[in-house]
Chain A
Amino acid sequence: MARFSTASEIASGVRSGSLKASDVLERHLAEIDAREPEIHAFNLVMATSARERAAAVDAMVANGVDPGPLAGVPVALKDNMCTSGVPTTCSSKILDGWKPPYDGTVVSLLRQAGAVVVGKTNLDEFAMGSSTENSAFGPTRNPLDTDLVPGGSSGGSAAAVAAGFSALSFGSDTGGSIRQPAALCGVVGVKPTYGRVSRYGLIAFASSLDQIGPFTHTVADAALAMQVVCGHDPHDSTSIPDPLPDYSELLDRGVEGLKVGRITDLPEGADADVAERVEQAFEVLAANGATIVDVEVPAFTYGLTAYYIIAPAEASSNLARYDGVRYGLRVDAPDTNAMYSATRAAGFGDEVKRRILLGTYALSAGYYDAYYGKALRIRRLMAQDFANAYQQADVLLTPSSPSVAFPFGSKTADPFAMYLCDTYTIPSNLTGEPGISVPFGTGLDGLPVGVQVLAPALGEPLMLQVAAELERAAVTLEKRGAS
């Protein structure tokens, strides 16, 4: 695989004057020109505004002004993050023609930090899917093998980093939509603690589960990106006010003395090649001084059901706003009710309609207690089980995805087969705890395998510390394999 510059290398080069942001940008735009037609990572490439922005960053450096910690770093944004005056589609026809009148908080923070936004990336419509096949604008292809999906729903953002279109990208993770595509594209992906990154300007899918996070080439880049986008925001009532730690501080510390949990009752379903790599990850951490402890998370197995009730329930409510009145598509009809129904029928794709129906059903009179009410109780059980596990272990290790990247169409006929992709990532969305997928060797056909490190709420520094150790070990393994 091509070796692309990391965000850390670019930012330090631009800040010191040894690199020009404009040159860095042109290199990335050249990669986009060369491969974007076959990959389709982007709904929109913003070459003109990116060039202006890169020139402005260079001018700041020339004038002795520090552009910030992400100086000149080309960044791609999932197209469900509001960008002022720039179309934001959620890869849905229902937002046709809409340009947000404001920037989301993450977008503002990235600009303030000197980053250069290169484009808006493709996703499963409204972030509902695990393969980016549900986009109204066509699928994104995996840069490592274009016959395969990149994962989803943030498939465009994962592909953008993997293909060298941007050094950094952002996605949103409601049930694994950052960690699973990161695993399938061989990059690092982080879902921070719920509330750590402001959701202001992130178009809502399931508000109690959604969280923005970065895709990067390295764990150090993830730490750098989180230092910029994490923090309290008065515009988000679920934003955490606690002060930020230094996310890079523990990266070189190793894992000596840490307790790494193995979930003994983890749901089955991971392919043998993936399971083997996860096993190897445990061995590597043990060899480097960590203690492996067995823990139980009995509710883990009910996560998928709880999630596929709660997320559609919240979505059915959140997506009620797309009614053809204030923005986006409208299909004319003689009265408002008919107009709402016709607009929504024409604007939403099959999977979105399916989840709206499922969520509306789960919330409707007569079914509420059996489905939604019960799912919320499983959610509590899940939180309690993880809290118990974290009494015994500092972090937990699981696969990020049950399989490596899979072919187009292989899971589209059966929605539940697609939902199983999220088996190992969903629980941390239900509990609000952080998770990271870090590339760790390869499986079937030489495709990347992602190992997931889970930590308790606000445990990102520890989580990144363990991920960094796995990253170092993966490099060693690769060298050994190559020799």
Chain B
Amino acid sequence: MSDRLTNDVVVKVARLARLDLTAAEIERATEKLGDMLDHFADIDALDLSAIEPMNQPLPIVNVMRDDVVQPCLDHDEVLASAPQSEDGRFRVPPIIGIQG
């Protein structure tokens, strides 16, 4: 991956990550991330096609249990942490909005 990272790619990635960055932040991030990707070039030449990916360290088996109702977090206590709530629910701005 030798193509140098561009501002446009960082703008797209920032949108995917829901980060509202300023032009200066985009500029700086492009430079720093580009440097990081240069360091990552040490793995470019490795042929690892015969190696299986390893997602996590230990073999995991699915753990099943009976579907028994157990105590859970208190509704009001959880909602008390929310920036806004109404009628026992989280309140958010309009979902279908005006964003271009």
Among A101, A344, A377, the residue within 8 A (CB) of B77 is A101
- Flag if A344 contacts B54 (CB, 8 Å): no
A101-B73, A338-B99, A416-B35 known; A208-B55 Cβ under 8 A: yes
Those of B28-71 within 8 Å (CB) of chain A: 29, 32-33, 35-36, 39-40, 42-43, 46, 48, 51-58, 60, 63, 65
Known interface pairs A302-B46, A338-B99, A342-B20; 12 further A-B residue pairs with C-beta atoms within 8 A, sorted by A's residue number: A97-B81, A194-B56, A234-B65, A305-B43, A306-B43, A327-B81, A338-B97, A357-B33, A360-B17, A377-B51, A380-B53, A432-B58
Complex Cα distance, B42 from A332, in Å, reads 43
Closest 8 CB pairs of A and B: A335-B97, A432-B57, A376-B53, A330-B83, A341-B20, A377-B48, A208-B56, A380-B54
Q: Which of A51-92 contact B (CB under 8 A)?
A: none
> B87 interface residue, CB < 8 Å from A?
no
Interface string of A359-401 (1 = CB under 8 A from B): 0110010010011011111111101000000000000000000
Q: How many B residues touch A, CB cutoff 8 Å?
A: 52
Closest chain A residue to B21, Cβ basis = A345
B23 within 8 A of A: no
Decide: B48 and A416 in contact? CB cutoff 8 A.
no
Q: For the complex, what is the distance from the CA of A308 to the CA of B81, rounded to whole Å?
A: 33
Q: Is the CB of A329 within 8 A of B83?
A: yes
Residue A337 at the chain B interface, CB threshold 8 Å = yes
A111 sits at the interface (CB 8 A)? no
Contact of B16 among A234, A364, A377, A380 (CB under 8 A): A364
Contacts of A375 in B (CB 8 A): 43
Are B97 and A380 touching (Cβ within 8 A)?
A: no
Q: Can you give 30 A-B contacts (C-beta < 8 A)?
A: A208-B55, A208-B57, A302-B42, A304-B39, A305-B40, A306-B43, A308-B39, A323-B18, A324-B83, A330-B83, A335-B94, A335-B95, A335-B96, A335-B99, A336-B92, A337-B99, A339-B92, A344-B19, A357-B17, A360-B16, A361-B13, A364-B13, A371-B40, A375-B43, A376-B55, A378-B46, A378-B48, A380-B54, A432-B56, A457-B58
Is there an interface contact between B97 and A337, defined as CB atoms closer than 8 Å?
Answer: yes
Once the chains bind, are A325 and B82 in contact (CB under 8 Å)? yes
CB contact under 8 A between A330 and B84, given known A208-B55, A339-B92: yes
Asked whether A98 is an interface residue with its Cβ less than 8 Å from the other chain, the reply is: yes
Distance in angstroms from A362 CB to nearest chain B CB is 9
- Closest beta carbon of chain B to A414's beta carbon, Å: 8
* CB interface residues, A 350-364, toward B, < 8 Å: 353-354, 356-358, 360-361, 364
Residues of B within 8 A of A459 (CB): none
User: Which of B16, B29, B55, B84 meets A353, CB within 8 Å?
Assistant: B29
Known: A238-B60, A358-B36. A381 touches B51 (CB 8 A): yes
User: Residues of A contacting B95 with CB < 8 Å?
Assistant: 335-336
A192: interface (CB < 8 Å):
no
* Cα–Cα distance between A99 and B79 once the two chains are bound (Å): 11
Residues of B within 8 A of A306 (CB): 43
Shortest CB-to-CB span from A421 to chain B, Å, is: 14
Q: What residue of chain A has the Cβ atom nearest to residue B81's Cβ?
A: A327
Q: Restricting to A458-482, which residues have a CB under 8 Å from any CB of B?
A: none
Q: How far is the CB of A42 from the nearest CB of chain B, in Å?
A: 22
The contact of B93 among A302, A333, A416, by CB within 8 Å, is A333
Least CB distance from B49 to A in Å reads 8
Query: CB distance B18 to A341 under 8 Å?
Result: yes
**Using Cβ atoms and an 8 Å threshold, which residues of chain B touch A99?**
81
| Inter-chain contact B19/A357, CB cutoff 8 Å | yes
Cα distance A158–B14 when bound, in Å? 34
Question: A205 an interface residue at 8 Å Cβ cutoff?
Answer: no
Which of A97, A305, A338 is the one whose CB lies under 8 Å from B42? A305
The answer, among B18, B46, B98, for a CB contact under 8 Å with A344, is: B18
Q: How far is the CA of A381 from the CA of B39 in the complex (A)?
A: 19
